[in-house]
A = this chain, B = another copy of it.
Amino acid sequence: MPHLDEPEEEGEELTIARPRRSLLYIPGSSQKMLSKGIASGADTICLDIEDGVAASAKGLARKQIKAWLDTEMTKAPENMEICVRINAVSAGDVYNEDIEWLDTLDVVPHSIALPKMDSVHDFNTFLPILTKLEKKHKKNIELIGMIESPLAVINLPSILQESKSADNNHHHLSALIFGGDDYSAASGCIRTETNHELDFPRAMVQMHASAHGIGVLDIVCKEFKDPSRFKKESLISAQQGYIGRQCIHPSQIQHANDIYQPSNELFEWSSGVLAEFDTQTKAGVGAFTYHDAMIDMPTIKRAENILIRAKACGMVLKGDINGNGDGKQ
């Protein structure tokens, strides 16, 4: 699998080639949940050895995930990303056991999620392990870093810089995940229904990541029996530039897939704006009016970004199954 999210030059426009609208955690210790992963419909399934697995069941989880990779990986839909979450560098023995286990794999996942990536040290400790694994299997393995504490947020600019400079401006980090509950535990804030207590770190992580062209996945919603809350949170999150979110229940996946892609209205508006821009440019006009609003270059760029994302998610304009919408319907 190629690096679909090839990072861009610092400061360039954000383009997201691979959707990661939904990432479903599957505890490696549960054979039943593992068996349902491929049919889940998630953009990414994340086979977990970390916080979803009890200390006493981590050995079992590793054994079952290895077996799963051997037999199920080839059965996954072409666009589905298979990820494994190991334990944190700071976790000591269980991390070391994970590293030894990675070396025993015959089939490697598309990506590895590194939790509690609090510092450049954590990143640099794991990077050679990953690089070695890539060489051994002659495959790219993407790294998804988890930012889950005030310290991690504060160190994120340095981590991103390190990720970029470690290998000739090629970013090793393919995506980030913001972990709201670990952040809360470490910062002393109290989780609420509006998540206002996480506004600041969520925004800071998104800003720094987007400056490097790296997408971020948002917090989990643990109240899996409350889909309206999940949807409400996801909409806000998508507006704030998050590319998707973590799911802890299969029922959350479709909502995430729907919300983290451009709405049909936005998709059609973008097509319309770009068509009108074409016309106006030929006439030598700069800024122009469309649907009572002024359209200038920044808006044109936004419209282009929306089209790229919509197409990556497989969207087509209504009445235009070839995807060549004129945006005028």
Contact = CB atoms under 8 A, between A and B. Distances in A.
Given A57-B284, A197-B239, A287-B27, A51 B187 contact: no
Contacts of A148: 298
Given A51-B297, A286-B54, A13 B207 contact: no
Contacts of A302: 181, 184-185, 191
A207 B150 contact: yes
A7 interface: no
A50 B153 CA distance: 35
Contact of A298 (B185, B215, B223): B185
Contacts of A319: none
A236 to B, nearest CB: 7
Contacts of A203: 199-201
A161 to B, nearest CB: 11
B207 A200 contact: yes
Interface string A205-225: 011101100010000101111
Nearest to A291: B223
4 A-B pairs closest in CB distance: A200-B203, A181-B298, A189-B241, A185-B301
26 contacts: A11-B119, A14-B187, A14-B188, A27-B286, A27-B287, A29-B284, A29-B286, A52-B287, A56-B281, A149-B211, A154-B157, A154-B207, A154-B211, A181-B298, A184-B298, A184-B302, A186-B210, A187-B241, A188-B305, A189-B240, A190-B241, A190-B266, A191-B302, A200-B206, A222-B299, A248-B294
Interface of A: 10-11, 13-14, 16, 27, 29, 50-57, 118-119, 148-151, 153-154, 157, 179, 181-182, 184-192, 196-197, 199-201, 203-204, 206-208, 210-211, 215, 220, 222-225, 236, 238-241, 243, 248-249, 266, 280-281, 284-287, 292-299, 301-302, 305
